[in-house]
Amino acid sequence: MAAPETSTAAVPTLYTNNTLRNAFGGVLSFFILLLIGVLAFSIRLFSVIKYESVIHEFDPYFNYRVTQFLTKKGIYEFWNWFDDRTWYPLGRVIGGTVYPGLTLTAGTIWWLLNSLNIPLSVETVCVFTAPIFSAFASWATYLLTKEVKGAGAGLTAAVLLAMVPSYISRSVAGSYDNEAVAIFALIFTFYLYLKTLNTGSLFYATLNSLAYFYMVCSWGGYTFIINLIPMHVLLCIVTGRYSSRLYIAYAPLVVLGTLLAALVPVVGFNAVMTSEHFASFLVFIIIHVVAFVYYIKGILSPKMFKVAVTLVVTVGMAVCCAVIAVLIALVASSPTKGWSGRSLSLLDPTYASKYIPIIASVSEHQPPTWPSYFMDINVLAFLVPAGIIACFLPLSDASSFIVLYIATSVYFSGVMVRLMLVLAPAACITSGIALSEAFDVLTRSIKFQLPGVTSNAEVDAGETSSDTSEAQTDELKAEKPDDTSKNRPSKKSKKKERELAENPPAKATAKAKAKAEKKRLLALPLEASVISLLLLVVLGAFYVVHSVWAAAEAYSAPSIVLTTRSRDGLHVFDDFREAYAWLSHNTDVNDKVASWWDYGYQTTAMANRTVIVDNNTWNNTHIATVGTAMSSPERAAWEIFHSLDVKYVLVVFGGLIGYPSDDINKFLWMVRIGGGVFPHIKEPDYLRDGQYRIDSQATPTMLNCLMYKLSYYRFVETDGKAFDRVRRTEIGKKYFKLTHFEEVFTTHHWMVRIYKLKPLKNRIRGKAKKSKSKTSSTSSSKRSGTKKKNPWHENERRREVCYSNNCSDSFSAFLSSKPEIEFDYAGYVR
């Protein structure tokens, strides 16, 4: 901060000394950044080391499949890809409904490596994309924080971000999801925005809109950017901080950014037509008005200006009213008022659970609990307030942006667990600032009071304020000088000059006075500062320990492979892949497999079979149909499945080994979602006195529904009692037979069970014989034939209606569910 002062005031020898220090600081911070990158990358490798190099969970499998397609068929095929393997019989236009950023990134990396003759498989590249981008993200954090509070804070923030558990949870190796790339894009866009704001350079403004474009490509969360930046601009204008730099930072972003965003097929005209983007346009108008006003103000005399203002305000009000009326009319004409369900649920947290059970059914769309804050951002939660205070001392354009960022992201994270991910960078930045400032103050007060240093304290006083020495990582505990790199002072001074030109000189002197005062105040007692320094180090150490634990234990499980430690070493449950491999080896390529939507992506990616519904829950009715089938009695379910041309039904069952997130535990959601569209499915029918149970107290509807039967078919023969280890009870109905389904495969630990629909032909022959023997008219069989189809036809009409107003939002980014409860090993005894 005070670097320009020293550079002008200091003697030449001191100056050379300073440049040397700066250069040394630059090299040091470069190596520290390198190490931070290594740290960010390697802390995410626990999943590979503990498990294997494998794609995780649900959504990543879809992304992986898309990437495979891209690398195999090329970019043009990719844009035109109509996928007939999902949402049978509707299909899905992948090219137009997917955020292509991640796929294109991984595809490019793969192509680059292969053209360098480094033959890596697509899978390997996909697995390691997330860790690589988290290293990038931590570097971007450094840059962003450096813009706000200098390099020291930047390095601290980068370290914090490199291992913040919230971000780790979404970017461990193998978690090949949009967020992994998007967080980097988010931070980098913010950095470029602040950089433009600080420099006023059109070059950075252009880069900013390119970064924004990348963000739009990567994640639906780009709306956060396009709303946060206008908010900040508005804040600046309202607080009287309007400058030409602000204009340059904002106007090109809106124009270029919107144009570029419209290039992404999944966004397209949404970039100008949905209300998520309206704020930016409104602020765009406002900033022009303000700019115009400032211009006029410069030209006219104060008296004339007053006249002009009254004139413009009257005319402008009229115009504005008209425009706003038109806008409101436009917005009101769209069914969801121009807001997608997801965004509405952001504004109104109860919206989703009230109206869209599919959104509500995903655990990560629930509001978070306090422990989850502690789990995900740990000690940062305590450091954030300190960081916000530090942002106000002094408040600059950049630091006000950070304050706004943290405020909004705290609100959003309170709405949805998932958005904790957006909070994490903000928390890291503010905590980084807080820590860095604290170290700054403490080390300076130690330095002032140490004997022997006092002689040149005066010289240092000016310099050390920029010398934000602080313990970097707490293991390092190395004090190192700030890297005020060479170009920095000049730029700062430029800025200062500009500020001086703009502001009256009185303000500058006041500022200097305040600074001097602060310096005096900041000299704490030696003992106190040493102790608090130690305490801070302990706090940091606690954070590191927690992060490593979280990375190693909590967030590394790929959920497709489960492990447990038994007496004779590691035991692996690989039933999912066993089942998918069975499907791919033993069924026809064109067979359709029905399962609950959670397993849709995996089935298409690993078994290469057509599924009815998948994790891209774009069609509520379709999911409701499967839900209805699962909660219907066998016969009705068979009819529904048969009408959908389904050949195999796949259920996940954890009762034998105690795997809690199985289909029986998800079953109530199937009932709810199914009942939402087909009213003959009623939730109370499945509950006994409001309780969900599968033991002998369960309702007959529950005990006769397809899901129950498929899960527990011949389960009693395993231990003789049919004790369900997840529900910790004996099941209600133990001995029963399946009439319309037959078991074709059950995996080793019974986690996945696959049933085949018995063919129609045999059944009819039996019926025909019977009717013949009865000598009743053949019309009865005919009638039964038509009857059989009837319930479905009734539903058909309803379905069509529902198709039209399905929640057409693409939830692909949002709907990967992470089981909240970790796998329960205790139940498994073998």
Partner 1 sequence: MEARIRARVTLALTLFALLFFVSRSSPPRQFVISDAKRRIDLSSHIINVHLTLKVENAGTRPASEVVLALTPTEVDHLAMVDALAIKGKRKKTTSVRLEVKPTELPDAPPIDAKYFTIYLANPLNSGESTTLEVLYVFTHFLEPFPEEIAQSESQLVFYHDTALILSPYHIKQQTTFIKTPSTKVESFIRVEPTNRVGTEIKYGPYEDRPPYSISPIHVHFENNSPFAVVEELVQEIEISHWGNIQVTEHYTVVHAGARHKGVFSRVDYQSRQFSNGASSFRHLLARLPPRVHSVYYRDEIGNISSSHLRTNSLKNGRRSIALCVLNARCIDYSIANVVSSFMIMHLHLNVAFAIIPVEASRSWKLSHVILYLEVVLPEGSTDPSPVVPFPVEHRLEAKYSSLDVVGRTVVVLEKKIFVPMHNSHFQSQTLELKILEIGFDENNHLRCLSFVDSLPDTIVPAKIFSLLMLSRQTHIKTIYQLCRMLFLHRWCLVERATFFNLVSFNLPPLWQVYYTFKPIFMLAEPLMLASAFFMFFVACVAYIHIDLSIRK
Query: Residue-wise over 217-230: b if at least 16 C-beta within 10 A, else e?
Result: bbbbbbbbbbbbbb
Decide: 162 and 113 in contact? Cβ < 8 Å.
no
Stretch that binds partner 1, among 212-220, 254-262, 519-527, 576-584 (CB under 8 A): 576-584
Please state, in angstroms and rounded to a whole number, the distance separating the CA atoms of residues 179 and 185: 9
Q: Tell me: does residue 717 bind partner 1 (CB under 8 A).
A: yes
Length of the chain: 830
* Nearest distance in Å: CB 67, partner 1: 15
Alpha carbons 680 and 177: distance in angstroms, whole number: 38
Residues 172-211, one symbol each (x = binds partner 1 by CB under 8 A, - = not), give -----------------------------x-xx-------
| In the complex, minimum distance from the CB of residue 547 to partner 1, in angstroms, rounded to a whole number | 28
Of 198, 746, 812, 817, which one interacts with partner 1 (CB under 8 A)?
A: 746
User: Of the ranges 67-75, 346-354, 380-388, 571-579, which one interacts with partner 1 (CB under 8 A)?
Assistant: 571-579
CB of 381 within 8 A of CB of 425? no
From the CB of 83, what's the least distance to partner 1, in Å?
A: 19
**Cα(435)–Cα(288) distance, rounded to whole angstroms?**
39
By C-beta, is 99 or 188 nearer to partner 1?
188
Name which of 158 and 359 has its Cβ closer to partner 1: 158
Contact pattern for partner 1 over residues 322 through 361, marking x by CB under 8 A: ----------------------------------------
386 part of the interface to partner 1, by CB under 8 A: no
Biggest alpha carbon–alpha carbon distance for the chain: 118
> Which residues contact residue 680 at a Cβ distance below 8 angstroms, ignoring those fewer than 6 apart?
none
Find, among 622, 571, 632, the residue nearest to 600 by Cα. Answer: 622
For residue 103, the cross-strand partners are none
Residue 695 binds partner 1 (CB under 8 A): no
CA distance 480 to 421: 31
Please give the C-alpha separations between residue 183 and each of 33, 214, 580, 585, in angstroms, as whole numbers.
18, 11, 32, 39
Residue placing its CB nearer to partner 1 in the complex, 34 or 768: 34
- The residue within the footprint of partner 1, chosen from 520, 585, 797, 830 (CB under 8 A), is 585
The binder of partner 1 chosen from 11, 12, 119, 458 (CB under 8 A): 119
Compare residues 69 and 580 and give the one whose CB is closer to partner 1. 580
The least distance separating partner 1 from the CB of residue 243, rounded to whole angstroms, comes to 19
Please select the residue that binds partner 1; options are 460, 578, 591, 695, rule is CB under 8 A: 578
Q: Which helix (H) or strand (E) holds 83?
A: strand 82-83
Number of residues that bind partner 1 (CB under 8 A): 43
713 phi, psi to nearest 5 deg: -60, 120
Among 573, 601, 653, 667, binds partner 1 (CB under 8 A): 573
Report the alpha-carbon distance of residue 543 to residue 379 in Å, rounded: 6
Site for partner 1 contains 582 (CB under 8 A): yes
SS3 of residue 830 by DSSP: coil
Can you tell me which of 586, 778, 779, 805 binds partner 1, judged by CB under 8 A? 586
Helix (H) or strand (E) holding 381: helix 380-391
| Distance in angstroms (rounded) separating the CA atoms of residues 316 and 311 | 8
Q: Is 595 in the site for partner 1 (CB under 8 A)?
A: no
User: Should residue 591 be labelled a site residue for partner 1 when binding is judged by CB under 8 A?
Assistant: no
Q: Does 128 bind partner 1 (CB under 8 A)?
A: no
* 737 near partner 1 (CB under 8 A): no
Residues 398/236, Cβ–Cβ less than 8 Å = no
The verdict on 577 binding partner 1 (CB under 8 A) reads: yes
487 binds partner 1 (CB under 8 A): yes
| Token code pair at residue 697 | 């107290």
Q: Is 572 in the site for partner 1 (CB under 8 A)?
A: yes
User: At its nearest, how many Å lie between partner 1 and the CB of residue 746?
Assistant: 4
**Residue closest to 254 by CA, chosen among 224, 277, 231:** 277
Distance CA 173, CA 43 (A): 9
Cα 298–Cα 302–Cα 303 angle in degrees, nearest 5: 140
Q: Which of residues 618 and 712 has its CB atom nearest to partner 1 in the complex? A: 712
Binding site for partner 1 (CB under 8 A): 23, 26-27, 30, 52, 54, 116-119, 123, 201, 203-204, 486-487, 490-491, 561, 572-575, 577-578, 580-582, 584-586, 606, 714, 717-718, 742-748, 750
